[in-house]
Amino acid sequence: MTIALTAHDSKKELLAQFCTAYRRVLSEHRLIATGSTGRLVSDRAQLNVEQFLPGRLGGSQQLSSRIACDEVDLLLFFRDPILSSSNEPNDMGLLRICDVHNIPIATNIATAEVLVHGLEHGDLDWRTILHSRM
C-alpha cells in the first residue's frame, strides 16, 4: 500500500517519532511525503520515503493529484488545530480529495495509531482488493 505523509511545521517532529515507533509496519509499504516532512521522516526513522516538493510550494497538490489518481491508500496528516496556516486552503483541499476517494485519514497521533494497527492486522486490505479490480 502507498502511505502519504505530511505535517504542519509544529507536528513534523511528532510524525517522525511516530514513524520511528512504527518503523517495522511502515517499512513494508511505499511511503510518499511532502519535502521537509519526507526528509525528516527518512532521516529520523530510517525509512525510504519518496519526497515531493515542500507543501507550500506544491507538495500538497502533488499528494492530492496522487490521491485523485487512486495512487494513495492512506494519509497521515499531522495537523496543528491551534495555529492557523497560510496553507489552509491546500490543507482543506487535501482532506476533501481524500473524502471524495474514500482514503482513510489520520490527522493526529491517536487516529494514526488506530490506522497503523488496522494496517498491521489487515483491516485495510479492502484497498488492495479495490486496486485489483481496476
Burial class (CB in 10 A: 0-12, 13-18, 19+), 12: buried
Q: CA angle, corner 32, sides to 63 and 37, nearest 5?
A: 90
Mean pLDDT of 108-133: 83
Output the pLDDT for position 43: 97
Grid coordinates standing for 76? 497521515
Percent of the chain with pLDDT over 70: 90
Identify the domain containing residue 29 by its residue range: 7-37+62-108
Residues 6+ apart with CB under 8 A from 109: 14, 18, 78
Output the pLDDT for position 99: 95
For residue 116, give the nearest of 78, 87, 81 by alpha carbon: 78
In a domain, 95, yes or no: yes
The string of pLDDT tens digits covering residues 19-64 is 999 999 999 999 999 999 999 999 999 999 999 998 888 888 999 9
Task: Name the residue with cell 496543528.
Answer: 80
CATH number of the structural domain spanning residue 83: 3.40.50.1380
In a domain, 90, yes or no: yes
In a domain, 16, yes or no: yes
Total structural domains within the chain:
1
This prediction has a pTM of: 0.91
Position 131 pLDDT exceeds 90:
no
